[in-house]
Structure 1
Amino acid sequence: MDAGLAAVLGALAGSMATIGAALATGWSQREGARILARSEHRRQRQEPRNGAYKDFISAASRMRDLVDLFTLTFNDGDFPYSRINAYLSSHCKEAANTIKEKWVDVALAGPKEITEAASLLERLSNALAFRVEALRRLVETTDGPTDTSHAGIKNRITQEAIEFEENLERFMLLAQAALDDDGSRK
């Protein structure tokens, strides 16, 4: 091979290597910028989510505490119907309204799984408040608990209170996972 051809091939090889290095560097910088932008976006999304989730959990915990009476085990006939009063009913209604207010923030913050879990808790809180009020009215308008009417509503509240508590725990786990997500998983 003569020296001129070798020089041309050498220059061509050098040019190709330089172009390849420039392309690789450009791709690497673009990917780095994309990762940085994604990370910043996630950080900006997680700050408001943290506050929304915290407020929602606090409101839902209040409802759980109000209806925990129904999740306790009592012997037949020992349920304290006297505790089903205007105070409990009004505070359940207030808690359900607060949950509804906080639900809007959670629904907007997302993601989808969190919104679905929060929506279920919001619906359950309304049902609980409604049934507690119904039981209160029944307790106040009758002389004593009847096996069918009082127990039927009380048992339904118990089922919903247990479901509410389980779904609140599920929501908290989903919220933790959403806040821990750093975007590295797809």
Structure 2
Amino acid sequence: MDAGIAAVLGALAGSVATIGAAMATGWAQREGARIAARSEHQRQRREPRHLVYKEFISKAELVRHRASIYSSLDDGLTPDYVTEQQVNELFEAATEIKAAATEAALVGPKKVTAAALAIAHLGSDLAAYAAIFRDLTEPQHQQIGKRSHRKLVRVAKEYQNSLDNFILRAQGALDDDGSRK
């Protein structure tokens, strides 16, 4: 190989290596800046989310507490067990949780939003099924009352599971440090 060609090829190889290193450095800096920006954004959102999630869970726990008597009972529930006061308390709690679910949905992320809205819907369903069951106490409604009771128990258990799911998703959202997409 001619010395001139070797010198040109050496210079070309050095230039390509320098350009490649510059590109890699630029990409690494951009990626580092992106991660830092995302981390800062997540940090700024964490505290407001924490407060909203805490309020939502507090209201949801109130519904869970009121519904626990339905989810732990068997088919031996007597028709007069669901009182007007219990139904009213469930409706009040379901209304409160709906407002709290809207707040939780606004602070996101999507997985937490979906879980919060599911809990709000189940809370409303739970109150409605308790009211239906309360109204079906007469002997001619015994068959419908049993189906209503089974539905009430199923929704109460589903509500409890959904609340547990929300808590796990909220914890995951609060643990997100912004380093992953």
TM over 0.5: yes
Supply the AA of the counterpart residue of 2:173: A
Partner residue of 1:3?
none
Structure 1 residue 172 displacement after superposition: 0.8
Rounded to whole Å, the distance in 2 between the matches of 1:158 and 1:81 is 14
Equivalences for residues 81-96 of structure 1 within 5 A: 81-96=79-94
Deviates more, 1:117-126 or 1:147-156: 147-156
Counterpart check, 1:185 vs 2:180:
yes
Supply the AA of the counterpart residue of 2:33: A
Task: Give the TM-score, by structure 1 length.
Answer: 0.77
Counterpart check, 1:48 vs 2:43:
no
Equivalences for residues 143-182 of structure 1 within 5 A: 147-182=142-177
Equivalences for residues 7-86 of structure 1 within 5 A: 29-74=29-74, 76=76, 79-86=77-84
Structure 1 residue 163 displacement after superposition: 0.7
SS at 1:148 equivalent: helix
Rounded to whole Å, the distance in 2 between the matches of 1:24 and 1:152 is 66
Deviates more, 1:123-132 or 1:17-26: 17-26
Change in Cα spacing, 1:72 to 1:121, as seen in structure 2 (3 Å) is same
Rounded to whole Å, the distance in 2 between the matches of 1:37 and 1:157 is 47
Rounded to whole Å, the distance in 2 between the matches of 1:83 and 1:24 is 71
Rounded to whole Å, the distance in 2 between the matches of 1:134 and 1:68 is 17
Rounded to whole Å, the distance in 2 between the matches of 1:17 and 1:71 is 68
Structure 2: where are the runs of 5+ without partners? Answer: 1-13
Change in Cα spacing, 1:63 to 1:30, as seen in structure 2 (3 Å) is same
RMSD of aligned alpha carbons? 3.0
Change in Cα spacing, 1:152 to 1:36, as seen in structure 2 (3 Å) is same
Change in Cα spacing, 1:53 to 1:74, as seen in structure 2 (3 Å) is same
Rounded to whole Å, the distance in 1 between the matches of 2:144 and 2:96 is 29
Contact 2:63 2:90 in 1 (8 A): yes
Change in Cα spacing, 1:75 to 1:153, as seen in structure 2 (3 Å) is closer
Structure 1 residue 178 displacement after superposition: 1.0
Task: Give the TM-score, by structure 2 length.
Answer: 0.79
Rounded to whole Å, the distance in 2 between the matches of 1:38 and 1:185 is 9
Rounded to whole Å, the distance in 2 between the matches of 1:184 and 1:167 is 28
SS at 1:183 equivalent: coil
Structure 1 residue 147 displacement after superposition: 3.2
Task: Render the CA deviation track for 1:89-116: whole Å, top value 9, x for unaligned.
Answer: 1110011001110011111111111111
SS at 2:179 equivalent: coil
Partner residue of 1:113?
111
